Structure 1
Amino acid sequence: MSRMNYEVAVLGGGPAGITAALSAARNGAKTIVAERYGFLGGMSTAAMVYPWMTFHSASGKQVIKGIAQEIVDRLMALNASPGHLRDTIGFVHTLTPYHPEVYKALAGRMLKEAGVDILLHTSAIDVKTEGERIDSITLYNKSGVSTLSANVFVDATGDGDIAAMAGVPYEKGNANGKVQPMTMKFRMRGVDVAKVKRAMQDDPSNFYEKSLTSELDRLPVTGVMGFYAQWKAAGLPVERDGLLFFVGPNEDEVLVNVSRVSGLDPTDIGDLTKAEFEGREQVLLLESFFRERIPGFEKASVSAVGAQIGVRETRRITGKYVLNGIDVLDGRRFDDVVARSGYPIDIHDPEGSGVTANFIREGGAYDIPYRSIVPIRTTNLLLAGRCISTTHEAQATTRLTPSCMAIGQAAGAAAALASSLRREVESVPILDLQERLTAGGAELGLTK
């Protein structure tokens, strides 16, 4: 069995893992990232989570910058993103379209530029601990089994796999233990977006009440929530109240976020397998519905389906502080803030068809404290992404991709700092960490 030794090891190459690895390496740590797929990007690529929502507060202030914004800038330079656009659904201030295939390549390019070692097609299958410290992680890939040692590990697996294998306590779901439903996302090409736009302008009442229908003469259609009448008349066996889709990345293309698979646990392999099949059956059903009933989709067809079903919620690892819904809605500030987000609490009902949305006070943003990425009972592990320490309600905002990117950058910088100082992650000097996250103007919306 081969053994690898690093200063920082990031497990998971999704949006949080990418920014964590970049941040660790740029802060001087010898860094590796291991990813189970043959490409990077996590839910943004494997599950087609599109577009990125949101880098801004409801009032329009950009609150997530740093490496996340650098990625957007570089995608724009490659003509793979138009940058931040107004959300014509009106749910958030902006959304950020991007081309997932370019993002896959760009992420690898940026990691290599930073000197990060990358292992694809690689899964963590075991964690060895000594007391409250992770000694090593067992990896498996086509070359066989290997051992990965590091001064500090970052769990960016999405599901908190590393923390769970290390024996860290966690919670899942709402008060009844039910998690938010999964969604099999898919793209359709051949869409007449101009016709969709006319339908929105002709009957605004058939769409989400905040939709910017009166502004569509000057704004491009970026997202659509509604067609409530057509959806109700069809009576499809999908627990949704209406349609949700986003335009792009091509002019005649949309990403459909409508399928819903409820009542299953994504960390249970039997349930996850069932969800994959059920989600794909729903895609075929929905394609026919769109073509037959929705203006602009008469000649459209499915062009791509996610490599896996999209997962909103699984384990929430217990940390030194559990961020809660009141913290979010009150726009709470923390002395140990390491990231900030302006996305509302957005809960897809785990046991029904609705979506509960609660918005942050005065269109503001809330802080994500360092203590929420530091798990209890483990001295050299940090959390990045949707598995951080929150309640069910707060996770419904921290799970969004830009939030995860910001959290990842913080985790990577903290991991590098803990490694260089030979300290436990809980003892990282917060002011030093915050300084690194705001250096050179590449800040995450943090204010001093």
Structure 2
Amino acid sequence: MNELEVDVAVLGGGPAGIAAALGAARMGASTLLIERYGFLGGMSTISLVYPWQTFHTMAGKQVIRGVAQDIVDELVRRNASPGHLRDTIGFVHTLTPFDPDMFKLVAAEMLLDSGCRLMLHTYVAEAEAKDGHIASVKVVNKSGMQTVKSKIFIDTTGDADVAYWAGTEVLKGRESDHKTQPMTMKFRMNHVNIDAIRDYMKQHPDEFYKKSLIADLDRIPLTGVQGFYKHWKEADLPILRDQVLFFIGPREDEVLINQSRVSGYDGTQVEDLTKAEVEGRRQVVMIAEFLNRQIPGFENARITQVGTQIGVRETRRAVGLYQLNRDDVIQGRKFEDVIARSGYPIDIHDPSGKGVDSAWIGDDGAYDIPYRCLLPKEVDNLLMAGRCMSTTHDAHSTTWLTPSCMATGQAAGTAAAMAALKGVSPHDLQVGELQRNLLTNRADLGFSLVDL
């Protein structure tokens, strides 16, 4: 059995893991990123979770920068993203379209350029932990079983797999009944007449989300559509949604359909995931036929891509030194140990119904994410980032969005490298020094280096 040993091992190659590995490698730590698929990107590429929402507050102030913005800049440079655009649904201020296939390459090349080692096609199978310390993780791939030893581990699996196996307390779903937000099988269609959709919206504004920027569509590009309420109600499909939802791009005649809703399944149980995959693909066919038949602009549309796997919004969350909660988000709370910020509102897809529970952020439109949310209670050489960081069910509905995941990933990677190079636990780092390093690497914490 082969053994590998590094300063920082990042487990999971989604946006949080990519940002964590970049953060650690750029600090000079020997870094390994392990991903189960043959490409990077997590839900953004595997499940077509795009466009990214959002780097800004509702007032338009950018509050996520650093590694996340570096990735966007590189995608823009390669003509794989137009950058940040207004969200014409009006749910947030901006969204960021991108080509998911180009993101796979951009992420890999940025990581390799940073000195990070990649290990694709590899599953994490076990965490060997004793007395609150992870000695190693076991991984499996075509080369067989391997042992990875690391000074610091970062769990960016999305499902808190490593934290769970290492003995950290985890929570799942909403506190009352442990039900999780539904899964969604996303898909792309081309040969869509965007002009016809835009014209219909201008003629029938009452059939769309109340915040839609319909009056502005003569001067800004249509980026997203939520509505067609009458059409969806008349169709009466057996899908727990109450509207049509899709986003334009990445190509001019193409849209990404975010419409299916697969409820009642546990994303950490293989039997449930298997059922959800089949049900999600069944819904895709029903929705595509409905769009062809009833929605203006979709008469000649056809499916071009369906997600490699169903999109999972919520599973396990590790319990950390602090749990970010609903009040923290909607009050725009600020913390002394801030390591990232977000302007995305509460956005809970009902685990058992059709609706969405939304609540917007007060104060300056952004809330802080404290470092303590990345630190599990029971394990001294583990950090969490992305979907599995420490939050309540309500707060999770904003922190799981990709820009927030990348921001917490950069923080976790930076902290892991600092701890590994100093020979200390991430719990023992001076937060001010961590913040200084994050600011030096262009993260947004709501203040500048001179304020430290």
SS of residue paired to 2:271: helix
Match of 1:296 in 2: 297
Q: Could you tell me whether the CA contact under 8 Å between 1:154 and 1:383 is conserved in 2?
A: yes
Match of 2:51 in 1: 51
Work out the CA distance in 2 between the residues paired with 1:361 and 1:287: 38
Matches within 5 A, 1:401-420: 401-420=402-421
Matches within 5 A, 1:233-272: 233-272=234-273
Match of 2:370 in 1: 369
Match of 1:390 in 2: 391
Q: Could you tell me whether the CA contact under 8 Å between 2:82 and 2:96 is conserved in 1?
A: yes
User: Identical aligned pairs, as a percentage?
Assistant: 55
The one-letter code sitting in structure 2 at the alignment partner of 1:334 is F
Match of 1:90 in 2: 90
Matches within 5 A, 1:163-312: 163-174=163-174, 175-312=176-313
| Structure 1 residue 446, shift from structure 2 partner | 3.3
Work out the CA distance in 1 between the residues paired with 2:90 and 2:368: 23
Work out the CA distance in 2 between the residues paired with 1:299 and 1:129: 56
Match of 1:15 in 2: 15
Work out the CA distance in 2 between the residues paired with 1:443 and 1:167: 31
The one-letter code sitting in structure 2 at the alignment partner of 1:357 is S
Match of 2:137 in 1: 137
Work out the CA distance in 2 between the residues paired with 1:386 and 1:11: 13
Q: Could you tell me whether the CA contact under 8 Å between 1:39 and 1:120 is conserved in 2?
A: yes
Work out the CA distance in 2 between the residues paired with 1:258 and 1:363: 32
The one-letter code sitting in structure 2 at the alignment partner of 1:22 is L
SS of residue paired to 2:383: strand
The one-letter code sitting in structure 1 at the alignment partner of 2:222 is V
Work out the CA distance in 1 between the residues paired with 2:264 and 2:387: 19
Runs (4+) of structure 1 exceeding 4 A deviation are none
CA offsets per residue over residues 264-315 of structure 1, 9 Å max, x none?
1110110010000000000011110000000000000110000000000000
TM score, norm. by length of structure 2: 0.98
Work out the CA distance in 1 between the residues paired with 2:400 and 2:164: 18
Match of 1:348 in 2: 349
Match of 1:323 in 2: 324
Matches within 5 A, 1:11-90: 11-90=11-90
Work out the CA distance in 1 between the residues paired with 2:12 and 2:106: 17
| Structure 1 residue 422, shift from structure 2 partner | 1.0
Work out the CA distance in 2 between the residues paired with 1:82 and 1:417: 34
- Pairs aligned (count): 447
Work out the CA distance in 2 between the residues paired with 1:364 and 1:33: 34
Q: Could you tell me whether the CA contact under 8 Å between 2:338 and 2:445 is conserved in 1?
A: no
The one-letter code sitting in structure 2 at the alignment partner of 1:294 is I
Work out the CA distance in 1 between the residues paired with 2:364 and 2:434: 27
Q: Could you tell me whether the CA contact under 8 Å between 1:338 and 1:446 is conserved in 2?
A: no
Work out the CA distance in 1 between the residues paired with 2:416 and 2:211: 41
Match of 1:101 in 2: 101
Q: Could you tell me whether the CA contact under 8 Å between 2:37 and 2:122 is conserved in 1?
A: yes
Of 42-51 and 363-372, deviating more is 363-372
Q: Could you tell me whether the CA contact under 8 Å between 1:344 and 1:357 is conserved in 2?
A: yes
Work out the CA distance in 2 between the residues paired with 1:19 and 1:81: 18
Work out the CA distance in 2 between the residues paired with 1:237 and 1:388: 34
CA offsets per residue over residues 360-396 of structure 1, 9 Å max, x none?
0145100000000001100000001111000000000
Work out the CA distance in 1 between the residues paired with 2:303 and 2:285: 8
Work out the CA distance in 2 between the residues paired with 1:153 and 1:259: 35
Work out the CA distance in 2 between the residues paired with 1:139 and 1:162: 11
Q: Could you tell me whether the CA contact under 8 Å between 2:9 and 2:154 is conserved in 1?
A: yes
Residue ranges of structure 1 left out of the alignment (5+ in a row) = none
Match of 2:379 in 1: 378
Work out the CA distance in 1 between the residues paired with 2:432 and 2:372: 14
SS of residue paired to 1:32: strand
SS of residue paired to 1:127: strand
| Structure 1 residue 445, shift from structure 2 partner | 4.2
Match of 1:112 in 2: 112
Give the RMSD, CA atoms, in angstroms: 0.7
SS of residue paired to 1:431: helix
Match of 2:443 in 1: 443
Q: Could you tell me whether the CA contact under 8 Å between 2:340 and 2:443 is conserved in 1?
A: no
Work out the CA distance in 1 between the residues paired with 2:32 and 2:354: 41
TM score, norm. by length of structure 1: 0.99
Work out the CA distance in 2 between the residues paired with 1:273 and 1:410: 34
Q: Could you tell me whether the CA contact under 8 Å between 1:63 and 1:444 is conserved in 2?
A: yes
Match of 2:154 in 1: 154
Residue ranges of structure 2 left out of the alignment (5+ in a row) = none
Q: Could you tell me whether the CA contact under 8 Å between 1:438 and 1:446 is conserved in 2?
A: no
Q: Could you tell me whether the CA contact under 8 Å between 1:413 and 1:436 is conserved in 2?
A: yes
Q: Could you tell me whether the CA contact under 8 Å between 1:62 and 1:445 is conserved in 2?
A: no
The one-letter code sitting in structure 1 at the alignment partner of 2:157 is T
The one-letter code sitting in structure 1 at the alignment partner of 2:118 is I
